[in-house]
Amino acid sequence: MTGKTAPFCVPFYVMSAEDTPTVATKGFRAPETDHRFFGHPMGLATLFTTELWERFSYYGMRAILILYFVAPASDGGLAMATGTAIAIYGVYSAMVYLLAVPGGWLADRVMGPRRAVLWGAIVIALGHYVMAVPTNWSAWPGLAFIAVGTGLLKPNISSMVGDLYDGDTDDGTRRTSGFSLYYMGINIGGFLAPLVCGYLGEGIGWHVGFAAAGIGMTIALVAYVAFAPRTLGPIGKPIPDEAPMTLKRKVLLTSTAALGVVGIGLLILNLFGLYSADLVIAILTVICVVTPIIYFARIFRNPNLTETEAHRMRAYVWIFVGAVMFWLIFDQMGSTINLFVQNSTDRHIFDFEIPAAWLQSVNSLGVIVLAPVYAWLWIRLGRKAPSLPTKFAFAIVMIGLSFLLMGLLGKMAESQLVPWEFVVVMLLIQVLAELLLSPTGMAASTQLAPKGMSSQVMALWFLAVAVGDSIGGQVGRLQPVLGDAMYFTMLGVIAIIVAIIFSTQIAKLKRLMGGVH
């Protein structure tokens, strides 16, 4: 290559907005001076739209998944035993968040967030379309695709939202408000999806509902491909910390070998007639539980950890355990609660019976309405606003109370159908709990992380969801055994005990967190 052509070798992501626009950066403005999207950079509009439709596909499919699992074959369902269906739902949700760990690693070290999101989006769309094929096996490859794709997309699209504000010179207010706007997008998708996919899935056919989720994901993909070049310019293109070739090769080899060993192992078990879905679920649950233990051990063993950092990580262990308890209950919205709504509620509005899956929209609608109320409250309270450990303790108590209420509804359902509005009240209590814990925990994960380990601690935050969901799936097997009243009450009581233990630690946690609220 001659010296003349050398400038063209400069990757265009090092160009600033003032450089002559190329096809890839045409119309791109530096985010710190761009206020075109409600005061935010245009890039946020692209990420907002992509994530809105990605969540549409995710929650639309999730709203009907368990109903499809347990529906009799005559209704086009898989006629699965309730306990097994709950466990599979749990382990699938857990896989989505467990795979965010390799998804984050691939973006950081191999392909950069921008390409990771693109590939994630393609794989998710494929997964939904596979599920749309009307056979009784298409759900398995479909769910596997969706879990892998979401692992690639979800953590990396949110990190790109953060990147939009790296050049800001304010005190982080615009960044925080950008994330709130982005969270609105998530919940607009989460609100619309169960209405559309629930109506189609329950009313016309399960696979039609899955196809609608696929169309939603296609909109996400098209919006991303069409608008990313002009609105994101260089954002997310550089590979933050590219792995050397030897490491890439080593990871590729070990992961292929590991998958091979698992595949052969399952084949052998099958030959001896020992293979069962339950065994696979149990193994995946163990992996979900062991992975964060390894992460914590690695962080604590790091010789460069300062005393303050070690204290903060000790506090984070408690935060992690609290979050596990929370997600264990919260994510049963799509499984045990969905089944309860289907089997035991009266959902008539005059002559129209609303689809069970429609109740899955309540959470997102609640977030859209109540998030601004909390935001107002925190500003109003100023320095008197509760600290993170206090918010967590409240959130765990409230999630426990929501299940105690479910226990009462379960008791009521033994003699009559329960009005659907009662379940809405329960779901709104969960929203109040979610808004105390989820945004707070996510922000703290970045603040409490030791130097240079923020993506590992972020991975731990996603792993808390994975642990909660996988254990939740195993515990959920008890719902059909114990009956609704007993099952929900038991989990409610456990959460409240955990909350009480957690509250005894509040003072200590505040001390350990050293200045992080």
Instruction: Give me the residues that bind ligand PHE (CB under 6 A), please.
Output: 55, 186, 190, 438, 465
The torsion angle over the Cα atoms of residues 397, 398, 403 and 404, rounded to 10 degrees, is 70
Residue 410 Cβ, how far from ligand PHE at the closest point, in Å?
A: 25
Nearer to ligand PHE by Cβ, of 185 and 389: the residue is 185
In DSSP terms, 40 is beta-bridged to 37
Q: How far apart are CA 516 and CA 69, in angstroms?
A: 44
Q: Are strands 345-346 and 348-349 parallel, antiparallel or unpaired?
A: unpaired
- Contact call for residues 323 and 437 (beta carbons, < 8 A): yes
Q: How far apart are CA 219 and CA 193, in angstroms?
A: 13
Nearer to ligand PHE by Cβ, of 176 and 503: the residue is 176
Pick the closest to residue 469 from 87, 128, 56 (CA basis): 87
Q: What share of the chain is helix, strand, coil (3-state, %, to 5)?
A: 80, 0, 20
Residue 460 Cβ, how far from ligand PHE at the closest point, in Å?
A: 12
Nearer to ligand PHE by Cβ, of 59 and 296: the residue is 59
- CA 383 → CA 269, 415, 435, 442, 506, distances in Å? 59, 49, 19, 20, 17
Residue 187 Cβ, how far from ligand PHE at the closest point, in Å?
A: 7
Nearer to ligand PHE by Cβ, of 336 and 440: the residue is 440
SS (HEC) of 219-279: HHHHHHHHHHHHHHCCCCCCCCCCCCHHHHHHHHHHHHHHHHHHHHHHHHHHHCCCCCHHH
Nearer to ligand PHE by Cβ, of 198 and 410: the residue is 198
- Contact call for residues 8 and 21 (beta carbons, < 8 A): no
Residue 486 Cβ, how far from ligand PHE at the closest point, in Å?
A: 28
Nearer to ligand PHE by Cβ, of 145 and 191: the residue is 191
Residue 440 Cβ, how far from ligand PHE at the closest point, in Å?
A: 11
Nearer to ligand PHE by Cβ, of 190 and 355: the residue is 190
Q: How far apart are CA 122 and CA 355, in angstroms?
A: 30
Nearer to ligand PHE by Cβ, of 418 and 460: the residue is 460
Residue 107 Cβ, how far from ligand PHE at the closest point, in Å?
A: 17
Q: Are strands 418-419 and 345-346 parallel, antiparallel or unpaired?
A: parallel
- Contact call for residues 385 and 481 (beta carbons, < 8 A): no
HSE (side-chain half, CA atoms, 13 Å) at 172: 3
SS3 of 136, please?
Answer: coil
Give the phi and the psi of residue 349 in degrees, each rounded to 5: -115, 105
Nearer to ligand PHE by Cβ, of 178 and 190: the residue is 190
Residue 55 Cβ, how far from ligand PHE at the closest point, in Å?
A: 6
Residue 465 Cβ, how far from ligand PHE at the closest point, in Å?
A: 5
- Contact call for residues 371 and 428 (beta carbons, < 8 A): no
Nearer to ligand PHE by Cβ, of 130 and 186: the residue is 186
Residue 396 Cβ, how far from ligand PHE at the closest point, in Å?
A: 16
- Contact call for residues 463 and 295 (beta carbons, < 8 A): yes
SS3 of 418, please?
Answer: strand
Residue 59 Cβ, how far from ligand PHE at the closest point, in Å?
A: 7
The residues, ordered by sequence, that sit 6+ positions from 161 with a Cβ below 8 Å of its Cβ are: 44, 47, 178, 179, 182
The torsion angle over the Cα atoms of residues 487, 488, 493 and 497, rounded to 10 degrees, is 100
Q: Are strands 348-349 and 352-353 parallel, antiparallel or unpaired?
A: antiparallel
Q: How far apart are CA 10 and CA 5, in angstroms?
A: 10
Burial 419-451 (b: 16+ CB within 10 A, else e): ebebbeebbbbbbbbbbbbbbbbbbbbeebbbe
Residue 50 Cβ, how far from ligand PHE at the closest point, in Å?
A: 13
Residue 98 Cβ, how far from ligand PHE at the closest point, in Å?
A: 12
Residue 150 Cβ, how far from ligand PHE at the closest point, in Å?
A: 10
Nearer to ligand PHE by Cβ, of 316 and 487: the residue is 316
Nearer to ligand PHE by Cβ, of 430 and 479: the residue is 430
Nearer to ligand PHE by Cβ, of 24 and 443: the residue is 443
The torsion angle over the Cα atoms of residues 73, 78, 84 and 88, rounded to 10 degrees, is -160
